[in-house]
Amino acid sequence: MSLIAVGTMAFDDIETPFGKSDRIIGGSATYIAWSASNFIRPVRQISVIGGDFPTSELDALAERGVDLAGVQVKKNERSFFWAGRYHLDMNTRDTLDTQLNVLGDFKPTVPESYQGSEFLILGNLMPSLQLDVIRQLRHRPDLIVLDTMNFWMETAMPDLELVLKEVDVLMINDSEARQLSAQFSLVKAAREIMAMGPEYLVIKKGEHGALLFHKDQVFYAPALPLEDVFDPTGAGDTFAGGFIGHLARTKDISFENMKTAIIVGSAMASFCVEKFGTTRLKELKEADINARIKQFVDLVNFDISLV
């Protein structure tokens, strides 16, 4: 099985109530790759970086099994930059700055060696570019997962509507689901959003877990109650990477297996928030992941006899 991951590779300035980090490595595709590569390799990356992106970070990804053939390097330009500040609850944040830089005139090119991939994850990126990648693939992947955010709903809604028609699974957070559907009830929002294209919808609710919708079915996975959350940046992308990584590894895209994938994604996201940036994800071993998934199973496991 093979997986293509598309998204940003970035510098982030992050402020949380616990501290501040300047110009650390981030980006949607970076987090997806660090997460998904625990389950499937290679992860075939499509992104763009400037000459300022550290070679050591690229080397670390390559060593981890990430194929960088689809990552364009624009030597004389600067990488995508994002700055955000988290509120005290750590579930909500303000975007302080978004500098597209290399992304401004990015034209993704799918390398020939990526053709035929069965799984595609379109991480947070301009919807027009996400669509461009889908159109370059000669064989439609078995599963296309899309992540997006309010920024694109506000600046590129017509393109987002087009890409929504082409994907199988959409992942967004609860406030974005309400914004996209103009519905307060998440059940009604889910119905409206699935009518826009995706057959499956994952609504992430931060520390309150995630919901998976498909037709009239719904599944809920909690988030692990953690003692310390240092930096939620990338949690959504890490979740997405774990979700699609599990599906690609098991080669099973049924609703039942997506339930497990939600748990795997939640487990991966719970690691991501424990340290700033990608630090925690880089340290992870298979045994850590298995132990964390087991904690999830214990968290929700109960017997009940109904009379």
Residues that bind ligand AMP (CB under 6 A): 8, 10, 12, 26-28, 82, 98, 124-125, 149, 151, 233-237
- Amino acid sitting at position 29: A
Q: Based on CB atoms, which residue is closest to ligand AMP, 39 or 82?
A: 82
Rounded Cα gap, residues 77 and 80, in angstroms: 10
Q: The tokens 């034209």 sit on which residue?
A: 107
DSSP-H helix ranges across 48-155? 55-63, 127-136, 150-155
Smallest distance from ligand AMP to CB 77, Å: 16
Rounded Cα gap, residues 307 and 297, in angstroms: 25
Q: Based on CB atoms, which residue is closest to ligand AMP, 141 or 241?
A: 241
Q: Based on CB atoms, which residue is closest to ligand AMP, 2 or 273?
A: 273
Smallest distance from ligand AMP to CB 237, Å: 4
Which of 66, 101, 71 is CA-nearest to residue 83? 101
Going 283 to 285 to 287 to 290, the CA torsion angle's sign is positive
Q: Based on CB atoms, which residue is closest to ligand AMP, 82 or 276?
A: 82
Residue nearest ligand AMP (C-beta atom): 26
Q: DSSP letters along 6-19, please?
A: E---EEEEEEETTE
Q: Based on CB atoms, which residue is closest to ligand AMP, 123 or 141?
A: 123
Smallest distance from ligand AMP to CB 235, Å: 5
Q: Based on CB atoms, which residue is closest to ligand AMP, 99 or 183?
A: 99
Cβ atoms of 213 and 203 within 8 Å: the answer is: yes
φ, ψ of residue 27 to 5 degrees: the values are 110, 145
Smallest distance from ligand AMP to CB 7, Å: 6
* Strands across the sheet containing 10-16: 19-26, 10-16, 80-86, 93-99
- In Å, how far are 41, 48, 122 from 235, measured between CA atoms? 21, 21, 16
φ, ψ of residue 226 to 5 degrees: the values are -105, 145
Q: Based on CB atoms, which residue is closest to ligand AMP, 8 or 117?
A: 8
Smallest distance from ligand AMP to CB 156, Å: 10
Smallest distance from ligand AMP to CB 148, Å: 8
Smallest distance from ligand AMP to CB 269, Å: 8
